[in-house]
Chain A
Amino acid sequence: MRIEPVIPRPRKKRSLPSRRFAVIGAVGLILLGILFFRLWSLQIVTGDKYLAEANQNRTREVRVPAPRGRILDRDGNVLVDNRTSMALQLDPIEIPTEPAERRELFTRVGEVLGNDADWVRRKYLDSIENDPPGSPITLDRDVDDDIVYYLQEHQAEFPEVQVNRIFVRKYPQGLLAAHILGSIGEVTAEDLEENPDKDLAAGDTLGKTGIEQTYDDELRGSPGDTRLQVDSTGRIVSQLPSTMPDPGDSIRLSINEDVQVAGETSLQSIGLPGAFVAMDVNNGQVLGLGSNPTFDPSIFTRPLTQKQVDDLYDEDLGAPLFDRAIGGQYPVGSIFKPITALAGLDGGYISPSDVVNDAGTITIADQEFDNAGKQAHGPVDLRRSLEVSSDVYYYLLGADMNGTRQLQDWAGNFGLGKATGIDIPGESEGLVPTPKWLNEAHKEEPDYYDPWVIGQNIQFAIGQGYFQASPLQMAVAYSALGNGGSVLKPQLYLQTEDAAGRVLKEAEPEVVSSFEMDPAYRQDIMDGLHDAAQAPEGTSYKVFGGFPVKVAGKTGTAERQPKADQAWYAALAPADNPEIAVIVTVEEGGFGADTAAPVALQILQAYFDKQAKAVSGGTGSVE
């Protein structure tokens, strides 16, 4: 059997083109496959994520400032309002980091505003230093329309510059109540840190002083957000639905505009530094409160120059920014006497009918104490002592009460020696001197403080010596006298209203403390004060003698060496059932009756005129 050799059949070799065709084709298919897979993964698998990213990409959220609430007086007259202003701001994100480029930007922007690069640079550095990071850098406010239009037309050249509509405070009544209203300012880094719960952001404004500060939460409102659709260069393409800003609520103050105007204008007409406080004795509402010299609150709506700042604090100009009504601490002189009298009566040191012979001067513990001008008043009882303001009567009381806390306690009863709690910042506590305090102070600073001697209590009895109080504290004390023993917290706040005028919240009177006062003693004192104001021999008869409403009033002439005497006047009216307490002080004003009493008269006149008008439908007058 022949075995056929197995000849291997030649394997059919595929041609070169078809082999290499397969290779190139396979590579091409793999590449296309990669693209398809990637496309599918981007668009189908993770498309939603990228859609969200794209939507977020083209929107920019802009905080829209809320108009701040208004501040009104008790009758609804607007004391503080808003106006819109065009502010020119630099977007901090857009500012180049390269020094040369930055310089170039500052030069260009400065040119438009009519300033040089250094001016812009100072604003920039100032903002970097003081404002929270990311705050727009405000270059100027109330920018002229010309500049606004120019920038809008040339926006492409100034991508870093924004012209934003901002709200600026405006004061329709000018300088009225400047010390009460306070000012607002841009949020600082510290503000943000201290108020984490307040939804504040860089560039917001915040109340910095006065009512603006105390009631900032009510006044501020909440800003809205505008979502803007922008292109890749940040140019605004369109506006998307936004949250509207929620305007702040308005604050109505207890200020009686007539009283406030009367107090401010009459005080100003004297031309000396001074203050006044008018207060409702029954609920603590402040009807008027002012300090002279005053300032224009609108200066705070623009950046202050160094000269403006200096002037506000300049002692030679009377430190206009200083609110003497709440922050001034003075000896109050004779207007303190009713408190000494009550302390003496309460302690049994004297009775209303006891008579002291006032020879115009008295020597106690080898020291001579004089009446003003050593004037002798002859025999005086309690009522007479107030009418003619006998110092000798009170010197003796002070001497008798030395070694006890009687006088100090009664000063404390009237709220003296501690802050009243008024709802604007900046009040002083005053000082009620005690032997313990003075002796300790003497130990620490022997050159400055003398040790306690009987003379300290004697001086204290007539509101002198180390005793100090603010006009506001005296108003609270006289209110307590007027209402029969309640020390009230003075309040400027009356109510909160929404933008439509609906009342959201009302003030409630707050009694800080109260004390017992024998009604008979109180009546004697009120009689004495009435005589002082309206009996022919009273110290302020020449001012109040013809005033139709029964007034209880006390002059005061405090010694403030080396300055000239400080004039005081304290009044309660009507004397039989007091409604209003008025305190006026004029630094270096001499006798209380000469300068302080006429201001108090104007205030009471305004108060009762207005009351009469309200009763008779606007035609009556007190006279």
Chain B
Amino acid sequence: MESSRLPRQAPEPRLNLLERVGLAGMDGWLAFSALGLLACSLYTLYEASAANIVGAPEQYVQRQALYGLVGIVGMIAVSRIDYSRFRELRVGIYTFLCASIFAVFAFGVAARGSTNSLELPFFTFQPAELGKLLLILALAGFVIDGARRGSEGQRTIRILCLGLVPTGLVLLQDLGTSLVFAGITFAIMVAAGVRWSHLAAIGVVLAAFVAFVLVALPAAGTPVLKEYQQERLTSFLSPSSDIGDAGYQQNQAKVGIGAGGTTGRGDQATQSRFGFVPERHTDFIFAVVAERYGFVGAALVLSLFALLFWRALRLMTLSKNFYGTLVAAGIAAAIIFQVFVNVGMNLGIMPITGIPLPLMSYGGSAIISTFLMIGVLQSIHIESHAAQRSPWID
């Protein structure tokens, strides 16, 4: 064979190249799934603006691409840092997290019905988006920190309280994000090995609390949730025909998804094109994908999330230390929780909570923060034993 006579190429230069650009040791499938989802997001936004979808101007594509670029750079930068450093900074991170959420109370600006953003030069920043990652990093640190102190019950309550403080603060601004915070706290407790009995007790208390807030207090005349929040939460149970009503919009998204069929309607996608589907570039972007590209397109997006979830979760066992295990579990749970709530909302089986679809929904804070999470995961991978065996794809 002619090829055999050619001089063998040593793997060295490739390694050097990856090292030079700072990609060595990364989890390729993880990067692939994240970049794939960003690509899906950009393609959908591009097609949507090309098809003159109501409320989808071209600037969404351009800006989303810019956010993606910033996010990718951030991901690479974070992946070069040993994530274990974050454990040492846990108190600082936690303080910053709470302070940034407090800052919203002081200087926040309203966006889409809730005040959850800070107006920065060139950029409207939502601290709670980055807060998801900060909470994971800090909470995981506190778990390790207190692993040997106090009884098991005390430890459980300590983690729970540390998690619920920012959750409660965010709840006052944005219901959806606070649910993600709660989900993260719960997932880290599961990964940390908190007794099942404790977790079950927390579950019971939580259920009672939710029932109290949603049913008992409004019945007693002191609603905790704002009226629109309550309506959004319960409307998916009874789709309404009243235009402008939350249930109507959600039902329209469902109709659009159903109408997409197997292969989608392309530019004939009237539900998303003519504005029946609300928040087409943000909360309901999945409905646009599903209507335009059908089951094929929507399943591709879900599969990419499945891949991302699996690669993230896998790091739990590959991590060089328990901190990495907890962080990986928190990030994997945060992503899958958001996917389930957002896509479930699109499909009409979850309430409207305003949680963006990670890496898909338009929005700088969410895109960049999610890429930073991926960066932390990459860091765990690079530091793990797996990375020592295979530098690129193992």
Contact = CB atoms under 8 A, between A and B. Distances in A.
A47 interface: yes
B257 A231 contact: no
Interface stretch (A1-9, A38-46, A461-469, A593-601): A38-46
A232 B332 CA distance: 37
B258 interface: yes
A23 B336 CA distance: 14
Contact of A43 (B187, B294, B316): B294
A58 B191 contact: no
A96 B47 CA distance: 37
Contacts, number: 141
Contact of A32 (B270, B309, B317, B329): B309
Interface stretch (B10-18, B104-112, B205-213, B343-351): B343-351
Interface string B330-342: 0011001001100
Contact of B295 (A43, A231, A232): A43
Contact of B255 (A16, A21, A34, A53): A53
Interface in A12-60: 15-18, 20-21, 23-25, 28, 31-32, 34-36, 38-40, 42-44, 46-51, 53-55, 57-58
A231 B275 contact: yes
A237 interface: yes
B302 A35 contact: yes
Contacts of B35: none
Given A44-B261, A232-B276, A50 B319 contact: no
A31 B54 contact: no
Nearest to A230: B274
B258 A46 contact: yes
B57 to A, nearest CB: 16
A31 B340 contact: yes
Contacts of B314: 21
* Contact-size category for B: 35 or more
Interface in B291-337: 294-295, 298-299, 302, 305-306, 309-310, 313-314, 316-317, 319, 322, 325, 329, 332-333, 336
Contact of B190 (A23, A34, A40): A23
Contacts of A301: none
Interface in B249-308: 252, 254-262, 265, 270-271, 274-276, 290, 294-295, 298-299, 302, 305-306
Nearest to A32: B306
B259 A47 contact: yes
B243 interface: yes
Given A21-B317, A57-B270, A231-B274, A28 B309 contact: yes
B98 to A, nearest CB: 26
Nearest to B336: A28
B122 to A, nearest CB: 31
B329 A24 contact: yes
Contacts of A24: 187, 190-191, 313, 316, 329, 332-333
Contacts of A17: 191, 316-317, 319, 322, 325
A18 B313 CA distance: 10
A587 B268 CA distance: 73
Contacts of A561: none
With most chain B CB atoms within 10 A of its CB, the pick from A16, A54, A232 is A54
A398 to B, nearest CB: 78
Given A28-B313, A50-B254, A232-B252, A20 B274 contact: no
B150 interface: no
A616 interface: no
Mostly, the B contact residues are helix
B255 A54 contact: yes
A164 interface: no
A43 B256 CA distance: 9
A32 B302 contact: yes
A233 interface: yes
Interface residues of A, number: 38
A51 B191 contact: no
A32 B295 CA distance: 15
Contacts of B190: 20, 23-24
Interface in A47-75: 47-51, 53-55, 57-58
Given A21-B317, A46-B258, A51-B258, A57 B252 contact: yes
Contacts of A55: 259, 270
Contacts of A31: 336, 339-340
A552 to B, nearest CB: 75
B193 interface: yes
A229 interface: yes
Nearest to B243: A232
B262 A47 contact: yes
Contacts of A43: 257-258, 260-262, 290, 294-295, 298
Contacts of A57: 252, 255, 270-271, 276
Given A18-B317, A21-B316, A35 B340 contact: yes
Contact of B274 (A16, A40, A58): A58
A256 B261 CA distance: 67
Contacts of A32: 302, 305-306, 309, 336, 339-340
Contacts of A39: 257, 290, 295, 298-299, 302, 343, 347
B260 A20 contact: no
Contacts of B290: 39, 43
A31 to B, nearest CB: 4
Contacts of B260: 43, 47
A255 B339 CA distance: 80
A28 B299 CA distance: 16
A16 B321 CA distance: 12
Interface in B35-80: 54
Interface in A162-180: none
Nearest to B264: A43
Contacts of B309: 28, 32
Nearest to B256: A54
Nearest to B194: A20
A521 to B, nearest CB: 80
Nearest to A46: B258
Contacts of B276: 54, 57-58, 231-232
A618 B287 CA distance: 78
Contacts of A18: 316-317
Nearest to A23: B190
B332 A47 contact: no
A47 B258 contact: yes
Nearest to A17: B325
B141 to A, nearest CB: 17
A229 B347 contact: no
11 contacts: A17-B191, A20-B192, A21-B191, A23-B190, A32-B309, A35-B344, A38-B347, A51-B258, A54-B276, A230-B274, A232-B243
Given A15-B317, A44-B295, 12 more contacts: A17-B316, A24-B333, A32-B309, A34-B349, A35-B340, A36-B299, A39-B257, A51-B261, A54-B276, A57-B252, A58-B276, A232-B274
Closest 5 CB pairs of A and B: A50-B258, A231-B274, A54-B259, A232-B275, A47-B261
Interface of B: 54, 187, 190-193, 243, 252, 254-262, 265, 270-271, 274-276, 290, 294-295, 298-299, 302, 305-306, 309-310, 313-314, 316-317, 319, 322, 325, 329, 332-333, 336, 339-340, 343-344, 347, 349
